[in-house]
Amino acid sequence: MVKDPAPGDHLAVFIYNPFDAFMLSMLRRPVFILWTALLLLPLSRMGLQLARLGGASAGLEKNSALLAANDREAAALESEIRSGAEEAAFFNDILAIYPENKSYLRTQKAISDEVGALRREAGARLGGRLHIAVDTKANKLYLKKGLRLLWEADCSVGQGGTVKDKKTGRTWQFATPRGEFRVLTKIDSPAWIKPDWAYVENKEPVPPPGDPSRKVEGELGKFALDIGDGYLLHGTKNEEALGRPVSHGCIRLGSEALEKLYKAVPVGTRVYIY
């Protein structure tokens, strides 16, 4: 028989939960405690290993950053060393220019004085006249008035070498002659009359003199200046080769320079080829 609680008595109310009861009963068993410990031990070890891996990863990143910084520093140092070596070579070249013997300076002054004297003599002989100068080494043509340069242009002089006709034994040399010449005639729309060597060079049969097949239109450009002995200042279809010795002895010019020269110089103009 259950008695009602008296006033002031404390009443404890318990709610029954099967899972809690099960867990309480399991916790009281040593086997369960052992298995729990065994389960938590690997987990704790894994946590420590993960922490160590995280530390190692951070260390690797730090080392990688240091290596990258070292690489940049090494590249900068290498560039600085290379620059220093280039500067040293430059200054060595400059030092090599300066003579060790003071007599070298006297010699240079003597040469400079001699060149100055020759220029004054040449200027006096030219007398301010218009003339053409051709530098066969540089493949350059200059139009001058006295010693004053008016303009210049690339040209092509003789390529050198020879061609021999085995049948007749004749030999032709493809060199531009040096010396003083004059413009003998000015030719408008010149036609090229192919010489014998042109056929021999191409291993073609040589036609008789005066044969119409020898005449070739447009090969020499729009203008030509005859300086004698079969040598002309004329145009070319191969302006890309100007500045190099590729002709058979004549002096080739580009179309623009040729027209400019044709209009500028009269017959009788001196031509100096050196």
- Residue among 131, 155, 248, 250 flagged as catalytic: 250
Q: Please answer whether residues 133 and 227 qualify as being in contact, where contact means their C-beta atoms are separated by less than 8 angstroms.
A: no
H-type alpha helices, 98-147 = 103-126
Q: What angle do CA 174, 185, 268 make, to 5 degrees?
A: 100
Number of H helices, E strands in the chain: 5, 13
3-state secondary structure 203-224: CCCCCCCCCHHHEEECCCCCEE
Residue 102 corresponds to which tokens in the numbers above? 């003071």
250 is catalytic: yes
3-state secondary structure of 76: helix
Is the C-alpha dihedral spanning 171, 173, 179, 183 positive or negative? Answer: positive
Contacts of 266 (CB under 8 A, 6+ apart): 183
Q: Please answer whether residues 176 and 157 qualify as being in contact, where contact means their C-beta atoms are separated by less than 8 angstroms.
A: yes
Q: Find the helix or strand (DSSP H, E) in which 128 lies.
A: none
155 is catalytic: no
Q: Please answer whether residues 250 and 176 qualify as being in contact, where contact means their C-beta atoms are separated by less than 8 angstroms.
A: yes
- Residue among 131, 155, 234, 248 flagged as catalytic: 234
Residues with catalytic annotation? 234, 250
